[in-house]
Amino acid sequence: MQIEHVDPVAAAEEASLVLREAWPPPALHYTADYLRWQLSFPGPAPRAVLARDGGEPAGFIGVSPRRFRFRGVASDGYVLSFVSVRPRFQGQGLASRLYAELLAGLRASGLPTVVFVEAQSAPARRALLKAVDQAGFRRKALAACRNHGFVPRASAAPLQAAAAPAAVEDVLAAIAACGEERVLWSAPDAAQLEHSLRDPRPRRLLRVEEAGRAVGAAAVFLSEVATAAGVERVPTVDALYLPEPTADRVAAVLRAASTMFAGQATVPAVSAPNLAIVPGDQLRPAGARPTAATFDAFVVHPEGGPWLDAEVTNLEVV
């Protein structure tokens, strides 16, 4: 088995093959175009590791650049994802070897990395934590990200807040206002927000207003989910930038997401994978209902430091 660092964009076709076989339906539709976009965000150099057996792709892992802010301090960083091993190569410790190779390459960066892992996958969690510890990284478990669904109701009461399409500048202003000190904030700059809009799937930025003033922002997109019957397109809340998240403000985003992709969505419900910054008592009044899908979130760093004091993140689940 050959394991090597590769150009993430150049390896997108092989990575797509590995991911689609590793995660059978229902699962995210891992197209090569999606991976090229995800692994080419502006910022520190994206990294990827590919395992090949006799020249045939067997496993993949990658990190995509992101930008964070915690207690007023901004930093480049990464989100680690796409950990995958094709079925016939599973059970050989390959995922652990991929983690080890990638983390060894990340050590010199000195940057924080956020990683999500399915809460119901004990083997995946064990592989991640073991690799992080063996690589000498410090880690902190953040609040779990429970997916929530939302189905619009014609009888729903009017809201005090409203969400509408926004410009990059509107979202940057909302991000700058996010200051809750427990939160490891996703803080994309203008270049990253503009790149996000090049998503091969439909994507929109939203501005949230209440009583005539801006109170936050959000990013929503039309997720593609591979199922046994084909590809379903699901309106999805990607990230919330709400300095003071209330039921009305969250509901405004959910309702906007439900109408933003009319004629394109094939599922009437909205998916919201990360509402962790929203107080629990505000979710049900917003119309959000928990589903079975939950992701454990971690922040890891080669040296520790203030990033490990965070308790929750609003970063999109990747």
Q: What is the mean pLDDT of the chain?
A: 98
Q: Are 127 and 135 in contact, with CB atoms under 8 Å apart?
A: no
Domain 2-135 superfamily per CATH: Gcn5-related N-acetyltransferase (GNAT) (3.40.630.30)
Kindly state the percentage of the chain with pLDDT values over 70. 100
**pLDDT at residue 187, rounded to an integer:** 99
Determine if the peptide bond prior to 285 is cis (ω within 30°).
no
At residue 109, the pLDDT reads: 95
**Structure confidence at residue 17 (pLDDT):** 98
Return the CATH number of 147-295, one of 3.40.630.10, 2.40.50.140, 3.40.50.300, 3.40.630.30: 3.40.630.30
Q: What is d(CA 76, CA 277) in angstroms, rounded to the nearest whole number? A: 21
Provide DSSP, 76-109: EEEEEEEEEE-GGGTTSSHHHHHHHHHHHHHGGG
pLDDT higher at 278 or 122: 278
- pLDDT grade, residue 115 (50/70/90)? very high
pLDDT in tens, 196-237: 999 999 999 999 999 999 999 999 999 999 999 999 999 999
**For position 119, what pLDDT does the model report?**
94
> Within 13 A of 305's CA, how many CA atoms are on the CB side?
16
- Residue 221 — φ and ψ, nearest 5°? -150, 170
pLDDT at position 110, please?
96
Q: What is the mean pLDDT of residues 264-290?
A: 98
- Determine the pLDDT at residue 257: 99
Task: State the alpha helices, DSSP H only, in the chain.
Answer: 12-22, 32-38, 94-106, 122-134, 168-177, 190-196, 247-260, 280-283
Domain boundaries, the chain: 2-135, 147-295
pLDDT digits 0-9 by tens, 61-84: 999 999 999 999 999 999 999 999
Give the model confidence (pLDDT) of 227-263 as tens digits.
999 999 999 999 999 999 999 999 999 999 999 999 9
Closest-CA residue to 187 (of 73, 298, 80) = 73
> Distance between CA atoms of 245 and 275, rounded to whole angstroms?
10
256-260: Cβ within 8 A, 24+ apart:
256/162, 256/163, 256/164, 256/206, 256/218, 256/220, 257/150, 257/220, 258/150, 258/151, 258/152, 259/152, 260/204, 260/206, 260/220, 260/235
Q: For Cα atoms 90, 93, 99, give the angle at the middle one, nearest 5 degrees.
A: 110
How far apart, in whole angstroms, are the C-alpha atoms of residue 18 and residue 59? 6
Q: What integer pLDDT is reported at residue 231 of this predicted model? A: 98
Same fold, 2-135 and 147-295: yes
Tell me, what's the pLDDT at 308? Answer: 97
Determine the pLDDT at residue 77.
98
Separation of alpha carbons 70 and 298, rounded Å: 15
Residue 33: the pLDDT is 99
Locus of tokens 């619009």:
152
| pLDDT tens, position by position, 128-184 | 999 999 999 999 999 999 999 999 998 899 999 999 999 999 999 999 999 999 999
